[in-house]
Structure 1
């Protein structure tokens, strides 16, 4: 069971969407992959994974908003291999929630772009595994009702590279995730953000998730860290083009510059049929700034955040290991 739920991280994928600019411009939420051996091949079978996070930023209640993301994932670790790598397929429909602290502020929920993708995971021996992930968040399906989230005007394409060590009860994993977008992108639709909102140019993003935990019987404990940084957008030069008197042609560069990094601790328990993990992390560096409740503008004071996470991993179907052949008696003739 330990190998199952650790290796399930190879398909947990960080299948989630950020709800505020404080996450930096990343569709993949930083930290959603920690605690999982992303690089290790997942044993053949079908797995259910659900990860929930709640994020509370520092700052005046009049201008701060708490956010939450729930990510249910269905993973099929296939019997097929390509160049020695286990092929794993996954689908996930994340949901984002916002909770305003201002009196009379609105709480919202948005079902964002469903993720579809796959992983190639190699077992290199000596308890070391590496994986490559490729997939897409189908954000454009929500472009007409995106609630103002710029990333929902564009599909997000994702690449991921991970390495894991899982020997002697350890899970030491480093995972790098790269997001890039269809740009320029636009909102459309009668019931959502109209076309005059203008073209969107979300910047690319790079996430790093780190895990170092140890199993003690059914318990697990360890340290985690994660962060994100914005990268220059390949189409950003288009923002400098003249508007020609048309507001819609000006466009908006979203998430340019900035990032954050958080550190925390993780605990887990293996119940046999399923396993759970929980962790808490706090920003140690961030480019986000608190918003003044008087002027509505960013101040010089940094807006650090605290995040709590909870995950359940349940193998829904696994292929039983082939029984070892019975020993054949040795018959000798003299």
Structure 2
């Protein structure tokens, strides 16, 4: 059971968001896969995973943000070049909670469909490759400046995990790239954000170092994201000079992002497992703003974020292992 629920993280996929242009244009939430052995292949079967994150920024009056990520993964009996193939679907929901008495908002955006190829290299080491797409669900305009949600997001991921002796040592690299230029469709809350968008590519890193003690699990986690220059810089960069990052994204030089560190605790109930973890930014390019005469002005004060996560992992169906063959009788000749 231990390896099953750790490996189940190979399918823990979600939709991310950025509150301001100061952050990387990542659609995959940084930290969505920490605590999970995403490099290890799943035993054949069907698995359900639900991960919820709640985020609060230091910026006074800023809305709290959340994402709920229900995931269904089918670890198939098929192998490709020695790798088990795992099919995945995940329809995440994005939330915004006002801290000033304003309107709370939620929307279903960016349903993910994809597949994972996971290899067991032996000696409790596994590696995996993920490929898939977050589909543009056409209502992302309700969240205004999230220009990466104006298009499909294409995702690739590479992970390596060690799961021996109760350990979970995992590094996972995720790359997002987009259709550019992208365009919001349909009505939204902020008409000024309609039209073409030029989101930057993004690179996320999730790190896990935990150990099981009986049914309990404890350890450290870290995760971060940064934006990358993409081909839109050559084609559209000059036309974006002087425009808001909410419109043009980060098509210029690389930079902008965040990195967080924290701790994790988990418990295996047998039929299902749970994890909870908390992390705090230790580095960020985001800056707080103040209102001067009705005009937002960026300050030099860093806008750090604190995030809490909760996850439930439940195998819905697994294929029973084949019984060991009975030992052959020993026949002695005299």
Indicate the SS of the match to 1:29: coil
Give the match for residue 3 of structure 1. Answer: 3
- Where does the alignment leave 5 or more consecutive residues of structure 2 unmatched? none
Give the match for residue 138 of structure 2. Answer: 142
1:276-308 superposed Cα distances (whole Å, 9 cap, x missing partner) = 000000000000001113341211100001000
Distance in 2 of aligned mates of 1:120 and 1:259: 29
* Residues 1:11 and 1:196: Cα distance change in structure 2 (over 3 Å): closer
Distance in 1 of aligned mates of 2:190 and 2:296: 23
TM-score w.r.t. the length of structure 1 is 0.92
- Whether contact under 8 Å (1:146, 1:153) holds in the other structure is no
- Whether contact under 8 Å (1:128, 1:163) holds in the other structure is yes
Choose the corresponding residue for 2:247, options 252, 266, 271.
Answer: 252
Distance in 2 of aligned mates of 1:147 and 1:270: 37
Give the match for residue 18 of structure 1. Answer: 17
Correspondence list, 1:178-327, <5 A: 178-189=175-186, 197-240=194-237, 252-255=247-250, 257-294=255-292, 295-327=295-327
Give the match for residue 82 of structure 1. Answer: 80
Distance in 2 of aligned mates of 1:86 and 1:115: 20
- Whether contact under 8 Å (1:19, 1:67) holds in the other structure is no
Displacement after TM superposition at 1:121 (Å): 0.4
Distance in 2 of aligned mates of 1:182 and 1:12: 24
- Whether contact under 8 Å (2:141, 2:190) holds in the other structure is yes
Correspondence list, 1:99-178, <5 A: 99-102=97-100, 104-139=101-136, 141-142=137-138, 145-148=141-144, 149-178=146-175
Indicate the SS of the match to 2:330: coil
Distance in 2 of aligned mates of 1:240 and 1:17: 25
Displacement after TM superposition at 1:146 (Å): 4.1
Displacement after TM superposition at 1:107 (Å): 1.1
* Residues 1:298 and 1:81: Cα distance change in structure 2 (over 3 Å): same
- Whether contact under 8 Å (2:23, 2:258) holds in the other structure is yes
* Residues 1:126 and 1:89: Cα distance change in structure 2 (over 3 Å): same
RMSD: 2.0
Distance in 2 of aligned mates of 1:37 and 1:262: 19
Distance in 2 of aligned mates of 1:227 and 1:30: 6
Indicate the SS of the match to 2:235: helix
- Farther-moved stretch of structure 1 (251-260 vs 74-83): 251-260
- Whether contact under 8 Å (1:188, 1:195) holds in the other structure is no
- Whether contact under 8 Å (2:138, 2:185) holds in the other structure is no
- Where does the alignment leave 5 or more consecutive residues of structure 1 unmatched? none
1:85-117 superposed Cα distances (whole Å, 9 cap, x missing partner) = 010000000000011222x42211010010000
- Whether contact under 8 Å (1:187, 1:193) holds in the other structure is no
